[in-house]
């Protein structure tokens, strides 16, 4: 489906070769590059911070989509914007002041994303709809790649798409996206699909063709 964007998550890339990995997935036809920032506090895993984002930025021609799985968020927004993030996504669950956080992201010059854990409802999102450019529906519990898609989230996507109406807001799916699950969320109204293990499986920077085959299969 042409209107669906694929955003490979570099969580499944070779951490010693982020620059080359980003160039490889773009050359193989991805739309956005999804960058997972984890702090070992909001989620039980640690990845990297704004310095790494700044280092990979010159290796990405398109959209750098930064998913912050950190708490607190606000003290770091400026640093990720300075690092060149086009989209900065913060979690609704990361603190009591998500409204302020979203204002700060746009204030820093980035597009504002709002991520929802699988156990989070969508009623609160109603009050944030005009402050977001993207809503990220987590279809796994955040922290690790390669987990199984949680099917109950498909209904959440459908309800969010109806709530969004004609606003220009992306719905991004993050976690367990595969050839099997992608059509379900696309039909429910998602238009950006993050995929880590499903894109990077079978390939490498020296053998990137499988990345392209995997992207086209989704």
**202 annotated to bind ligand:** no
User: Is 36 assigned a catalytic role?
Assistant: yes
Give yes or no for residue 172 binding Zn ion (CB under 5 A): no
Task: Please spell the DSSP secondary structure of 54-107, one letter per residue.
Answer: HHHGGG-SSEEEEEEE-SS-GGGHHHHHHTT-SEEEEEGGG-S-HHHHHHHHHH
191 catalytic residue (yes or no): no
153 binds, options ligand DX5, Zn ion, none, Cβ within 5 to 8 A by partner type: none
* Closest C-alpha among 115, 99, 59, 119 to residue 83: 59
Q: Does 198 bind ligand DX5 (CB under 6 A)?
A: yes
| Burial status of residue 46 (CB atoms within 10 A of its CB: 0-12, 13-18, 19 or more) | middle
Q: Which of 113, 142, 181, 185 binds ligand DX5 (CB under 6 A)?
A: 142
Determine if 174 is a binding residue for Zn ion (CB under 5 A).
yes
The dihedral built from the CA positions of residue 151, 192, 203 and 183, taken in this order, carries a sign that is positive
Residue list 125-144, contact with Zn ion (CB under 5 A): none
When binding is defined by CB under 6 A, the residue of 81, 87, 89, 143 that contacts ligand DX5 is: 143
> Is 149 annotated among the ligand-binding residues?
no
CA–CA distance, 102 with 74 (Å, rounded to integer): 9
Q: Which residue, 150, 149, 151, 173, is CA-closest to 161?
A: 173
| Catalytic center residues | 36, 174
Q: What residues are designated binding site for substrate?
A: 9, 67, 143-146, 174-176, 196-197
Contacting positions for ligand DX5 (CB under 6 A)? 9, 11-12, 34, 36, 67, 140, 142-147, 174-177, 194-198
Contacting positions for Zn ion (CB under 5 A)? 36, 67, 174
């Amino acid at each position: 489906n042409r209107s669906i964007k694929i955003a490979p998550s570099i969580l499944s890339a070779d951490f010693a070769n982020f620059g080359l990995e980003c160039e490889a997935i773009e050359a193989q036809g991805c739309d956005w590059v999804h960058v997972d920032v984890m702090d070992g506090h909001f989620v039980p895993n640690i990845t990297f911070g704004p310095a790494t984002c700044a280092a990979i930025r010159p290796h990405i021609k398109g959209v750098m989509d930064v998913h912050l799985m950190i708490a607190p968020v606000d003290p770091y927004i400026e640093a990720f914007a300075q690092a060149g993030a086009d989209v900065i996504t913060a979690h609704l669950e990361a603190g009591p002041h998500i409204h302020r956080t979203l204002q700060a992201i746009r204030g820093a010059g980035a597009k504002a994303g709002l991520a929802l854990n699988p156990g989070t409802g969508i009623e609160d999102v109603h009050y944030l709809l005009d402050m977001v450019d993207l809503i990220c529906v987590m279809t796994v519990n955040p922290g690790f790649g390669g987990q199984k898609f949680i099917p109950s989230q498909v209904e959440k996507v459908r309800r969010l798409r109806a709530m969004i109406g004609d606003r220009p807001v992306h719905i991004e799916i993050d976690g367990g996206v595969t050839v099997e699950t992608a059509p379900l969320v696309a039909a429910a109204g998602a238009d950006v699909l993050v995929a880590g293990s499903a894109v990077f499986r079978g390939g490498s920077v020296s053998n990137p063709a499988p990345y392209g085959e995997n992207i086209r299969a989704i």
